[in-house]
Structure 1
Amino acid sequence: MIHEADEALRGLLAESGLEASGVEIVFDAPTRDWAARRNAPTVCVFLYDIREDAARRGSGAGEVHDEDGHVVARRAPPRWFELTFLVTAWASRPQDEHRLLSQVLATLVAVDALPQRLLTGSLAELGMTVDLDTGGAQLDAPAAADVWSALGGELKASLSVRVRAPLAGVSRAAAPPVTEGLVVRSAARQEGADPVPGRRLRYKEVDDPGPEGFAGPRERHPAPARRRRGGRQP
């Protein structure tokens, strides 16, 4: 799921014309050594915090159907995670970095969610909205100054971007659909006796239950006459 969120962010930034103008989009950690090796304009999208949104944790299980509409698996509800990125621009002059960062900001604040057309893998399969929050208050994430200190670099202008993405739940294969009727078998409680053949209840179909399935109307035979108490059967 994380790499799929990366690719969606890359696609969104690429559509703004960054790559067409020769700007690289990378997901590396912007350490001091990494910055010293930069020789081209670069936008760095660094993931530095991952935590679950426990308020959105669901329960129960959903059904997975095949092309014929049969249930083939049951899937646990997705778990939602908040991915926090530190977005920075790198160029030879501060003015160029600010121009790149302004272009990135304009692109990200224009949308509240990652476009469905850019989602791949499990994010596309789930079909859920992947929220995008740019420059908002990140109360639960480490401060930018602490991140730069941990990276061993100097404080730099940056954007804080949060993606809320679902992690697909575990799928378990379901038993095949019932195609036969209910069978009740009975046997005399005698040692060594042969088992009594099964008796099918209510319906006789096995392979083809009809267009309405086994719940459809069935032919009912008349009930046997009851013997009158104290008298003979008419």
Structure 2
Amino acid sequence: MIHEVDDVLRSLIRAEVLEGGQITVVFDAPTREWAAKVNSPMVNLYLYDIREDMRRRERGLHNEYDERGAIVARRRPPRYFKLSYLITAWTKRPEDEHRLLSSLLACLLRYEALPPERLTGSLAEIGAVVPLSIALPPPEDRSFADVWSALGGELKPSLDLVVSVPVTSSPVYETGPPVGDEGLRARFGDVPERASGETQDQPGRKGLPVYGSRPGRPHREPGAPRSSGAVRITETRGTTPEDV
């Protein structure tokens, strides 16, 4: 994934900034020892930081479809990681370096994302936008002076390029087979009557009362006197129980 971003940036700078000039594009760490060995014009894109872009994190699952439009699998949404590049120009004259940095800035300002036609490999397969930003202020927990101090080199004019790259390394959850052409069927009809003494949950099982009735309670005929506080519920089919 990182090497694919390197390839896109290299091809973009060669095509729109250098235009076939004899300037090399490298990705080396600009240390003091490295700078002492530079003997030809070059543009250096040093990858100095990798961290997740929490603002772009999503929840849930994304669906995958077949040629018929049916869902065949689900996967987690891609997670974006910010690749921070320190871009510097190296020539024999500071004026030439400034001119080269100006051309690099003008080129990258034209894009809010890596050009889709230049994406290759997994970046092209994902089909997601790869945002980029150029020359924004550094975050509060990092400064460019600290980067140069860590490299052991002298402070040099530079551009800060940040590319947010989607990564889709996540489990794939396959879905069940689709329903046939006939679809789901539901049948409606009368519920068969149960024999006396069968339970509602277990037809055919004897010895348990029918739901809503109480065993050992004699049936009270209409007009008969009520007993003290007892509730009588008839078990006779088709007869509406009296409220007592």
TM range (shorter): 0.7 to 0.9
Relative to structure 1, is the Cα distance of residues 159 and 80 closer, same or farther in structure 2, using a 3 angstrom cutoff? same
Other structure's SS at 2:112 match = coil
Aligned-residue offset at 1:127 = 2.1
Q: Please say if 1:159 is aligned against 2:128.
A: no
Q: Please say if 1:24 is aligned against 2:24.
A: yes
What residue number does 2:211 align with? none
Relative to structure 1, is the Cα distance of residues 40 and 66 closer, same or farther in structure 2, using a 3 angstrom cutoff? farther
Aligned-residue offset at 1:73 = 2.9
Residues 128-173 of structure 1, C-alpha deviations (whole Å, 9 max, x = no match): 2222111111224621111111111111110111112221141415
**Preserved contact between residue 82 and residue 165 of structure 2 (Cα < 8 Å):** yes
Q: How does 1:62-211 map to 2 (within 5 A)?
A: 62-140=62-140, 142-175=142-175, 177-178=177-178, 209-210=180-181
**Paired amino acid for 2:63:** E
Aligned-residue offset at 1:18 = 1.3
Flag structure 2 segments of 5+ consecutive residues without an equivalent. 194-236, 239-244
Using structure 1 for the length normalisation, give the TM-score: 0.72
Other structure's SS at 1:15 match = helix
Flag structure 1 segments of 5+ consecutive residues without an equivalent. 180-208
Picking from 166, 176, 183, the partner of 1:214 is 183
What residue number does 1:48 align with? 48
Write the distance in 2 (CA, Å) between the matches of 1:72 and 1:178.
9
Write the distance in 1 (CA, Å) between the matches of 2:88 and 2:163.
16
Aligned-residue offset at 1:104 = 0.8
Percent identity between the two aligned chains? 48
How many residue pairs align between the two structures?
195
Aligned-residue offset at 1:77 = 1.1
Relative contact order, higher structure (CA 8 A, sep 6+)? 1
Write the distance in 2 (CA, Å) between the matches of 1:23 and 1:173.
48
**Paired amino acid for 1:117:** E
Residues 94-151 of structure 1, C-alpha deviations (whole Å, 9 max, x = no match): 1221121111111111222111112223322222222211111122462111111111
Other structure's SS at 2:146 match = helix
**Preserved contact between residue 19 and residue 25 of structure 1 (Cα < 8 Å):** no
Q: Please say if 1:60 is aligned against 2:60.
A: yes
Using structure 2 for the length normalisation, give the TM-score: 0.70
**Paired amino acid for 1:128:** A
Aligned-residue CA RMSD (Å):
2.6
Write the distance in 2 (CA, Å) between the matches of 1:18 and 1:147.
26
Write the distance in 1 (CA, Å) between the matches of 2:139 and 2:27.
23
Residues 20-45 of structure 1, C-alpha deviations (whole Å, 9 max, x = no match): 10111111111122222222211001
Aligned-residue offset at 1:4 = 2.2
